Amino acid sequence: MNSSERENIKAAYKATFTKKIEEVSGNCLADASLLKQYQALAEMVMESITSQWAKTNTLYNKNESKQVYFFSIEFLIGRLMKSYLSNLGVEELVQECSAEMGLDYEAILAQESDPGLGNGGLGRLMACYLDSSSAMGMPAHGNGIRYKYGLFEQRIINGEQIEVADNWLKNGYPFEIRNPDKSVIIKYYGQIHSENINGNLTFVHENYEAIMAVPYDIPIKGYRNETVNSLRLWSAEPLEAFDLPSFNQGHFLNAVRHKSEAEAISQILYPNDNGFDGKLLRLKQEYFFVCAGIKRIIVDFKRSNNNSMDGFSDKICIHINDTHPALCGPELMRVLMDEEGLGWEESWKITVAAMSFTNHTVLPEALEKWPVDMMKDLLPRIYMIIEEINRRFLLDLDNEFPHDLDRNHSLSIIRDNYVHMASLAIVSSHSINGVATLHSKILREETFNGFYQVFPKRFYSVTNGVSPRRFLMNSNPELKTLINDSIGPDWDHNLFDLKKLLNYINDPVFYQKFDAVKLSNKVRLANYMARYNNVTVDPNSIFDIQVKRIHEYKRQLLNALHVLYLYNRLKENPNLEMAPRTFIFAGKAAPGYYYAKEVIKLITAIAELVNNDPSLHDKLKVVFLANFNVSLAEIIYPAANISEQISTAGKEASGTGNMKFMMNGAITLGTMDGANIEILDAVGPSNIVSFGLSADEVHHYQKYGGYRSIDIFEQDPRIQQVLHQLIDGTLGYGLSFQAIYDSLLLYNDGYFVLKDFNAYADAQNQVDHLFRNPTIWTKMSISNVANSGIFSSDRSIADYQREIWKII
Ligand code: 26W
């Protein structure tokens, strides 16, 4: 495009935008609020996407290519405007025009609410996979729930977490289209009768309670290509809003009761990450989006397939993201048999061929199991089908391993009066995979070993990945520009090309530019902390960052105890030689997770102690940033020097924050857990700092005993001092962290915090030494960016295509 063409386009953009402002606000541009400016821009974006969207759908409706559907109870998509603009290739243009019109581009973008429709890793992974599928021109769609309230907003008041409802829809949401014509009726409760109709045994569902699932579709626009896939989120509504007879009889509350009961199903996201609580409403949610999603897939498939189900599993992949959508198996069976009239054998073949399952956690407390009575009551036909799936599976088992009662019992989908959802997912899928090499190994050898012996060929591994567009190009534009200027722009289509940066690994000029980018990102975060936390930090200090959900296994406690230890060292020796450090934490605790909330309190108490002690001469600062979400994450990762990935080995399935940090040049300080192991493989041992027990060692202690935390306590005066400080008033008058203290000593430190303390302190010391040699540090940092290509979610999607969905 030459410059006069560009000027024409800019003039057209400005005119359209000005007109749009009038349309959405009834005001002229000069009087339009930021919110209206954002809404006008959003409408323009939707207008430029929808025709491509329609074209993509027409193509898909021809039924030529295989379609993947991600069923997930969470999609943590984050703000979309920047992605849309950049994927359309118009971001610079919009930025320039905004500036010329005197508008604040960043402030306009900040008007968008951040849809928190997920808790953490699992939900964010789905968003990255949708982003990558579209970028790669692959037909893949999301199917989930349109929660009216997403994950709570976290405020920190007096050092404690306070939860506030997340009303993300309060100003409307411009990127969704409501499609009531595609609604699906969902049936709960009631009884099942079998009838003989024309010689066929037919199941009839009676006296059920029906509600309506209404889809809202969000376009997922590919990066600079023609593909626009869909994220379909279902909202629950009553069949009829108002019960007129009740109203007329004066029963006003009754008249609307049904409405609020129906709406309750998509009202709120359960705020638990890695912890199962078997609430009826959650089971309703799970069936809700499964039933609605499967129905639409079948309707669309048949319409483009001469009204026949032939070839269904050659054209449709139903991918279940952890066990929350595991009812896809029995639901597909139900539709195939009861509605499409197929027999069991044929339906089962289709179901297993269509379904694949990814597991995301090995924590036993997260594995879903539903009480038989609850399932039977709420979903009578589904329960019948699960019983039959199980009966046939146990028969097969008995043929293969005769009289092996223990095995039969431990693999039974229904056992001890519960329906075990992982077992259901495994039996009804053709593939099961973990999310990192170590995690997949643990699934095969421990968690699902029994199933592995029965179905060895069903087990795969696909290491997670993250979107390089969201977590590098869009959130770290200065680094993007530096990379473009150095190796050219083509790495945007193949992140492995970042390896070309290794050509600069000894180039002092490049070092300077690279360091300047990091510093600029740190200044941005420092400004944020000054504004929201009222803490002044030195942007030249080491930004040592741990951001993720607060959980015992993630061991924020290990980090916090070490900060306290460092504080003690500095108090003892104010001249201690060390690079100044800023320890930054962020993350939400599940509202009912007392212990995790105590950890937040502990961190904020340590921050209070450390930040207000002038004798430390600003060598140490501690900040807890409230309300960690995708938008905040985008500011944090680019500013990090150290990425804390310190879970008890064997517990973190993969981790994806670790990859986002690495892509932005942070050095991983980590245990040999999850994808940290693969980060080590990618960067080499000299570009990572690792420490601590291995997963095998942890496993050994857990199985055979032999670890006594009290022994470590007794032998190590540093640990004694730090643990006493938890309860002796050091951390604030009247503040005592007795529960944490007890977990470490009385209950033998289940997550090996004290066991790993020494190794962690040594590793932190090593970090200090490395950082004080800027040449070595910058080299390490560049190596991390250069070798992060393998952690692009484009690579993960390519792996799924090849191994799991067998596309191309
Ligand atoms: C039923 C309660 C519940 C809710 C969410 C149980 C389990 C979950 C998820 C499976 C937990 C989760 O988010 N797991 C994370 O998944 C990421 C993506 O694969 C991994 O990177 C993280 O290591 C894993 O903790």
Whole-number Å distance, alpha carbon 359 to ligand 1 midpoint, is 8
Atom of ligand 1 nearest to the CA of 656: 21
- Mean pLDDT for each consecutive 10-residue tract of the chain (808 residues)? 91 97 95 97 98 96 91 98 98 97 98 97 98 98 98 98 98 98 97 89 94 98 98 95 73 80 96 89 98 98 95 97 98 97 97 98 95 98 98 97 93 98 98 98 98 98 98 98 98 98 97 98 98 97 98 98 98 96 98 97 98 95 98 98 98 98 98 98 98 98 97 98 97 94 98 98 98 98 98 98 93
- Can you read off the two tokens belonging to residue 348? 């089962």
Cα 776 to its chain centre, rounded Å, is 33
- Measured by CA distance, the residue closest to atom 6 of ligand 1 is 274
The confidence score (pLDDT) of residue 27 equals 94
- Report residue 421: phi and psi, to 5°: -75, -35
Any domain includes 202? yes
Instruction: Tell me the angle at which helices 3-25 and 91-100 cross, rounded to the nearest 10 degrees.
Output: 70
The confidence score (pLDDT) of residue 734 equals 87
- Can you read off the two tokens belonging to residue 540? 């030249």
Range(s) of the domain holding residue 407: 64-78+114-429
Are residues 514 and 603 part of one domain? yes
Whole-number Å distance, alpha carbon 205 to ligand 1 midpoint, is 35
- Measured by CA distance, the residue closest to atom 8 of ligand 1 is 274
Which active-site residues does the annotation give?
Answer: 360, 548-549, 554, 656, 660
Whole-number Å distance, alpha carbon 361 to ligand 1 midpoint, is 5
Cα separation, 632 vs 153, in Å, equals 12
Cα separation, 662 vs 688, in Å, equals 10
Q: Look at strands 140-145 and 67-71 and give their pairing.
A: parallel
Q: Look at strands 153-157 and 160-164 and give their pairing.
A: antiparallel
The confidence score (pLDDT) of residue 453 equals 97
Any domain includes 724? no
DSSP H or E stretch at residue 635: helix 630-636
544: left (phi over 0), alpha (psi -120 to 50) or beta: beta
Any domain includes 13? no
**Residues 301-334 as b or e (16 or more Cβ within 10 Å = b):** bbeeeeeebeebbebbbbbbbbbbbbbbbbbbbb
Residue 644, strand partner residues: 669
Q: For residue 642, how many C-alpha atoms fall within 13 Å in the half-sphere facing its CB?
A: 27
Last residue in a domain, options 429, 458, 473: 429
Cα separation, 727 vs 721, in Å, equals 11
For a pocket test of ligand 1, which of 122, 283, 433 has the largest count of ligand atoms closer than 8 A to its C-beta?
A: 122
Any domain includes 227? yes
Whole-number Å distance, alpha carbon 269 to ligand 1 midpoint, is 14
CB 465 within 8 A of CB 795: yes
Atom of ligand 1 nearest to the CA of 124: 18
Are residues 501 and 419 part of one domain? no
Contacts of 597 (CB under 8 A, 6+ apart): 160, 161, 550, 589
Whole-number Å distance, alpha carbon 502 to ligand 1 midpoint, is 34
Any domain includes 472? no
Nearest C-alpha neighbor of 288 from the set 220, 210, 352: 210
For a pocket test of ligand 1, which of 147, 282, 361, 365 has the largest count of ligand atoms closer than 8 A to its C-beta?
A: 361
Q: Write down the residue that tokens 């989930």 correspond to.
A: 144
DSSP H or E stretch at residue 213: strand 209-221
Whole-number Å distance, alpha carbon 590 to ligand 1 midpoint, is 13
The confidence score (pLDDT) of residue 326 equals 98
Are residues 507 and 385 part of one domain? no
Any domain includes 470? no
Burial status of residue 240 (CB atoms within 10 A of its CB: 0-12, 13-18, 19 or more): exposed
Last residue in a domain, options 371, 397, 429: 429
- Measured by CA distance, the residue closest to atom 12 of ligand 1 is 122
Are residues 385 and 304 part of one domain? yes
Any domain includes 482? no
Any domain includes 99? no
Neighbours of 742 (CB within 10 A): 12
Are residues 510 and 376 part of one domain? no
Last residue in a domain, options 406, 429, 452: 429
- Measured by CA distance, the residue closest to atom 13 of ligand 1 is 122
The confidence score (pLDDT) of residue 341 equals 94
Whole-number Å distance, alpha carbon 620 to ligand 1 midpoint, is 33
Are residues 342 and 244 part of one domain? yes
Three-state DSSP class for residue 337: helix
CB-defined site of ligand 1, < 6 Å: 119-122, 125, 272-276, 322, 360-361, 366, 368, 435, 464, 652-656, 674
- Measured by CA distance, the residue closest to atom 11 of ligand 1 is 274
Neighbours of 283 (CB within 10 A): 21
The confidence score (pLDDT) of residue 252 equals 74
DSSP H or E stretch at residue 211: strand 209-221
CB 69 within 8 A of CB 317: yes
- Measured by CA distance, the residue closest to atom 22 of ligand 1 is 655
Domains of the chain: total: 2
Are residues 666 and 522 part of one domain? yes
Whole-number Å distance, alpha carbon 460 to ligand 1 midpoint, is 18
- Measured by CA distance, the residue closest to atom 17 of ligand 1 is 121
For a pocket test of ligand 1, which of 75, 281, 321, 322 has the largest count of ligand atoms closer than 8 A to its C-beta?
A: 322
Atom of ligand 1 nearest to the CA of 653: 23
The confidence score (pLDDT) of residue 253 equals 76
* CATH number of the domain residue 307 falls in: 3.40.50.2000
For a pocket test of ligand 1, which of 273, 432, 464 has the largest count of ligand atoms closer than 8 A to its C-beta?
A: 273
**Distance set, CA 805 to CA 66, 313, 316, 795 (Å):** 9, 10, 9, 14
Are residues 352 and 211 part of one domain? yes
Cα separation, 584 vs 621, in Å, equals 8
For a pocket test of ligand 1, which of 124, 274, 420 has the largest count of ligand atoms closer than 8 A to its C-beta?
A: 274
Atom of ligand 1 nearest to the CA of 322: 10
Whole-number Å distance, alpha carbon 119 to ligand 1 midpoint, is 8
Are residues 398 and 273 part of one domain? yes
Neighbours of 88 (CB within 10 A): 17
Are residues 360 and 237 part of one domain? yes
- Measured by CA distance, the residue closest to atom 3 of ligand 1 is 274
Cα separation, 132 vs 148, in Å, equals 26
DSSP H or E stretch at residue 81: helix 81-88
The confidence score (pLDDT) of residue 250 equals 76
Helices and strands (DSSP H and E) totals, the chain: 33, 23
Cα separation, 208 vs 378, in Å, equals 9
Quickly list H helices, 266-420: 280-303, 312-315, 328-334, 344-354, 372-378, 380-400, 405-411
Are residues 671 and 552 part of one domain? yes
Cα separation, 784 vs 683, in Å, equals 6
CB 606 within 8 A of CB 622: yes
Atom of ligand 1 nearest to the CA of 324: 1
Cα separation, 381 vs 387, in Å, equals 10
Contacts of 436 (CB under 8 A, 6+ apart): 461, 463, 464, 653, 654, 655, 674, 675, 677, 678
Cα separation, 740 vs 399, in Å, equals 51
Atom of ligand 1 nearest to the CA of 368: 1
Are residues 783 and 656 part of one domain? yes
| Length of the chain measured in residues | 808
Whole-number Å distance, alpha carbon 764 to ligand 1 midpoint, is 28
